[in-house]
Amino acid sequence: MENPETISQIDDFARQCIHSQNHPGDYHKFTLFKCNSCKSSSFRITIEHHTGSEEWNFRGIIWGECAGCGYLMRLFTFTGEQRQRIRDDRPECECGNRSFIAGMCERFEGEEGIPGFFDEGVIVGRCTECSRKRAFVFTD
Ligand SMILES: [Zn+2]
Ligand SMILES: [Zn+2]
């Protein structure tokens, strides 16, 4: 298990990435990814881009290989039947490490306090070695 302070730092960083302060009426939901097998949140990430994937509008699949037990799982899928796989990215921290504590923040348009339509989201990670944080992909 990750400590709550680490999780709230990643949560804060993710909210900043999608400018949550500019959307005070909307609902933001942070999810820490967890290995289905050992519950660790540290993953080696592979970003599989599909056709139509753009910097601010990702299409494809994000895979996480658990840094604890090696279990490989889909962390996030946003694609369609007709889309083709075009390339894989294997993000590495500036320190050379490939394991990140990873999570996702999604914004939903608020309608009188009831969470509404999905607006924007981001998938982020924090290096398990040097604690540097980064955004991997944005969805819109
Ligand atoms: Zn695991
Ligand atoms: Zn690092």
Residues 6+ apart with CB under 8 A from 86: 49, 50, 51, 53
Question: By percentage, how much of the chain surpasses pLDDT 90?
Answer: 86
- Residue 120 CA to ligand 1 centre (angstroms): 28
Residue 115 has pLDDT above 90, yes or no: no
Residue 136 has pLDDT above 90, yes or no: yes
- Residue 73 CA to ligand 1 centre (angstroms): 9
Burial class (CB in 10 A: 0-12, 13-18, 19+), 31: middle
- Residue 1 CA to ligand 2 centre (angstroms): 20
Beta-carbon count within 10 A of 64 CB:
25
* Mean pLDDT, rounded, for 80-109: 96
What value, to the nearest 5°, has the Cα angle with vertex 139 and ends 36 and 79?
70
- Whole-model pTM: value is 0.93
- Residue 45 CA to ligand 2 centre (angstroms): 14
Tell me what pLDDT residue 118 has: 87
Asked whether the beta carbons of 64 and 77 are under 8 A apart, the reply is no
- Residue 32 CA to ligand 1 centre (angstroms): 14
* Mean pLDDT, rounded, for 56-72: 97
Tell me what pLDDT residue 33 has: 98
Segments forming the whole domain that contains residue 66: 4-139
What's the total number of domains in the chain? 1
